[in-house]
Amino acid sequence: MLDFLTNRIQSSLKKIQKSVTINEQDLAEIIREIRLALLEADVNLLVVKNFIAQVKNQVLTNGLTSKLNPQQEFLKILHQNLVSVLGVSAKPINFAKNPTTIMLVGLQGSGKTTTTAKLAVYARQKNFSKKILLVACDTYRPAAIDQLKQLGKQVSIDVFYIEKTPVEIAKDALIYSKNNNYDLVIFDTAGRLSINSELMTELVEIKKAVKPDQILFVLDALSGQDIINVAETFHKEINLTGSIITKLDSNARAGAALSITHLLKIPILFIGSGEKISALELFHPNRIADRILGMGDVMSLLEQAEENIDKQAVKKLSHRMFSGQFNLDDLLNSLAQIQKIGKFSKIIKMIPGLSGKINASQIDEVEQKMKLYKILISSMTLEERKKPKLLKNPSRRNRIIRGSGRTGAEFNRLINEFESMSKKMSEFSSKNINFDSFFK
């Protein structure tokens, strides 16, 4: 997420982090590099100018070079201004009204239809809504209706569609939702390859018909500067209440998409952080600023762990881990729990002190190792996993190597690392650790 901008800014900051003092020339050079990083990340020129002006002003006002810890002071100034650019934390959507109505708008290819389903899943997971209706108002793109129906079926959420005009579909869907006690209705409207009067007229009519509580602009993180003019037109015609940025997990520079909130004062409500239907995160400007500056994002990591891992399974694993009973089957289950939270590369970036210090090749090496160990352990019988000493038998060892398609060296590496891990864990077995307090 925002890797380009994150890497460039962290690289610039490294030049002063080890310095005992900072002079005006050092600061001028770093600010210049940050300005270039923002521009290369496709952040709007006006946004960059405002950001740099604010940073310079605060640096001069605070007399930074005379401070006891100028590095931390400068980091604090950067953080405050990044949060300001990304926008204040948006008010959560109020799901109390029955039905709450949300209208998704945007250009074709922005990920609007998928986001419709993601938003529904998010609302259900958070227990904001129990009975949700997705409305297929995109009658222009041939696959749009089928796509929404398939997504609805996949996540067990109802989809409404009748062969009428988009405005009539929206009207009938609202009546249907009220008659059938739906508490959330999400309208997937038609996108276009570019703005045209027909699109805007239709959206204005749908807005009049359903009077949505939220009108959210869905935009692709890969979008260029032209998306700012597009968003401005949408905002002028139908008064956007927020935005959702999709594909932020890609290598997109995302500067243009992030600029919209500052230029149009439209809060970013959610970000798409992966291909999974559950990969939609509430947008927190302060947390994103933390990630960009290499300060991690512990809160998001804890929230994702809370939502995805099996507490009882982790509790059981922890007991076994520090009581000298940990075996290869436990290791396999541990890897599965880690994978539920997300990719290792994503987890690393959320841990303070590690973001920016572990390069892509090192992360890839760890991910490949986890994948390798999963393959090898899965090729063992349950008895072998629970009694690793059985693996000293050469015939068992050879059978596992052949069955997994891996090498003897890879098998030996797994066993050696597991034994080393077990030895370290056994050191804790004599200590009285109250695990229950961790899982309350």
Same domain, yes or no, for 245 and 382?
no
Supply the pLDDT for residue 300.
65
Task: Please state the rounded mean pLDDT for residues 367-376.
Answer: 89
Q: Is 191 labelled as part of a ligand binding site?
A: yes
Helix (H) or strand (E) segment spanning residue 222: none
Question: Which percentage of the chain shows pLDDT scores above 70?
Answer: 83
Over residues 1-56, the pLDDT tens digits come to 567 777 788 777 777 766 666 777 878 888 888 899 889 888 899 999 999 999 88
Q: Is 247 annotated as a binding residue?
A: yes
In the chain, DSSP finds a helix count (H) and a strand count (E) of 19, 8
Q: What percent of the chain has pLDDT over 90?
A: 39
| Residue 265 covered by a domain | yes
Residues paired with residue 133 on neighbouring β-strands, in sequence order: 158, 185
Same domain? 310 vs 346: yes
Tokens coding 205: 């009519």
- What is the pLDDT at residue 64? 65
In a shared domain, residues 253 and 358: no
User: What 3-state DSSP class applies to 105?
Assistant: strand
Strand 100-105 and strand 214-220: pairing?
Answer: parallel
At 439 the pLDDT is 44
pLDDT value of residue 385: 92
pLDDT at 437: 45
* Domain contains 296: no
* Structural domain for 317, as ranges: 302-439
Decide: 254 and 230 in contact? Cβ < 8 Å. no
**Same domain for 280 and 307?**
no
Quick check: 142 pLDDT over 70? yes
Is residue 158 part of an annotated ligand binding site? no
CA 326-328-331 angle, to 5 degrees, is 75
Q: How far is CA 287 from CA 80, 119, 174, 266, 324, in A?
A: 12, 20, 36, 18, 38
Most confident of 288-292, 360-364, 381-385: 381-385
Kindly state whether residues 81 and 190 are assigned to the same domain. no
440 has pLDDT over 80? no
Are residue 181 and residue 246 in the same domain, yes or no?
yes
**Average pLDDT, integer, range 153-172:** 95
Statement to judge: residues 260 and 388 lie in one domain: no
- Mean of pLDDT over the chain: 83
Q: Is 201 annotated as a binding residue?
A: no
Query: Which of 86, 114, 138 is a domain's end point?
Result: 86
**Angle subtended by helix axes 3-17 and 285-292, to nearest 10:** 60
pLDDT of residue 438: 41
The answer on 421 and 348 residing in a single domain is yes
Q: Where a domain ends, among 258, 285, 312?
A: 285
The CATH code of the domain that includes 116 is: 3.40.50.300
Q: Is 139 annotated as a binding residue?
A: no
> Tens digits of per-residue pLDDT, 218-275?
999 888 888 999 999 999 999 999 999 998 876 677 888 889 988 998 999 999 877 8
pLDDT at 90: 62
- 435 band by pLDDT with thresholds 50, 70 and 90: very low
Distance of alpha carbon 350 from alpha carbon 343, whole angstroms: 11
Residue 437 assigned ligand-binding role: no
Question: What local confidence, expressed as pLDDT, does residue 97 receive?
Answer: 81
Q: Does the pLDDT value for residue 116 go beyond 90?
A: yes
- In angstroms, rounded to a whole number, what is the distance separating the alpha carbons of residues 296 and 346? 10
Is 386 a known ligand-binding residue?
Answer: no
Mean pLDDT of 378-404: 93
Q: What is the CATH number of the domain that holds 371?
A: 1.10.260.30
Task: Using the predicted structure, report yes or no on whether residue 283 has a pLDDT greater than 70.
Answer: yes
H or E element: which one contains 200?
helix 197-210
Burial of 67: CB neighbours in 10 Å, binned 0-12, 13-18, 19+: middle
Q: What pLDDT score was predicted for residue 312?
A: 75
In whole angstroms, give the CA distance from residue 18 to residue 205: 59
pLDDT band at 350 (very low <50, low <70, confident <90, very high): low
Check whether residue 41 and residue 153 sit in a common domain.
Answer: no
SS3 content of the chain, % helix, strand, coil (to 5): 60, 10, 30
Q: Is residue 182 part of a domain?
A: yes
Question: Would 190 be classed as within a structural domain?
Answer: yes
Pair 237, 268 in one domain: yes
Q: Is the pLDDT of residue 351 over 50?
A: yes
Is 381 within any annotated ligand binding site? no
**Structure tokens, 336:** 């599965």
Among 125-129, 188-192, 312-316, 339-343, the range with the most confident prediction by mean pLDDT is 188-192
109 is in an annotated binding site: yes
In a domain, 291, yes or no: no
- Rounded to 10 degrees, the C-alpha dihedral 361/318/305/355 comes to -30
Q: Which residue has the higher pLDDT, 362 or 261?
A: 261
Task: Determine whether the annotation assigns residue 253 to a binding site.
Answer: no
Report long-range pairs for 363-366 (Cβ below 8 Å, ≥24 apart). none
pLDDT band at 149 (very low <50, low <70, confident <90, very high): very high
Considering 19-28, 41-50, 68-77, 362-371, the range whose residues carry the highest mean pLDDT is: 41-50
Neighbour count for residue 392 (Cβ, 10 Å): 9
Is 360 flagged in the annotation as binding? no
- Classify residue 424: in a domain, yes or no: yes
Are residue 134 and residue 275 in the same domain, yes or no? yes
- The pLDDT of residue 72 is 78
Do residues 312 and 334 both lie within one domain? Answer: yes
Instruction: Say which range, 171-180, 257-266, 294-303, has the weakest mean pLDDT.
Output: 294-303
Candidate from 21-25, 349-353, 404-408 with smallest mean pLDDT: 349-353
For residue 190, say whether it is annotated as part of any ligand binding site. yes
- For residue 65, being part of any structural domain is answered with yes
Separation of alpha carbons 231 and 244, rounded Å:
12
**Is 94 contained in some domain?**
no
Any residues with CB less than 8 A from the CB of 303 and at least 6 apart, and which? none
Taking alpha carbons only, the member of 346, 357, 396 closest to residue 2 is: 346
Sequence-ordered alpha helix ranges (H) in 87-143:
112-125
**Residue 14 marked as a ligand binder:** no
Residue 7 CB neighbour total at 10 angstroms: 17
> With a threshold of 0.85, does the pTM exceed it?
no
Residue at which a domain ends, from 86, 116, 144: 86
**How many separate domains does the chain show?**
3
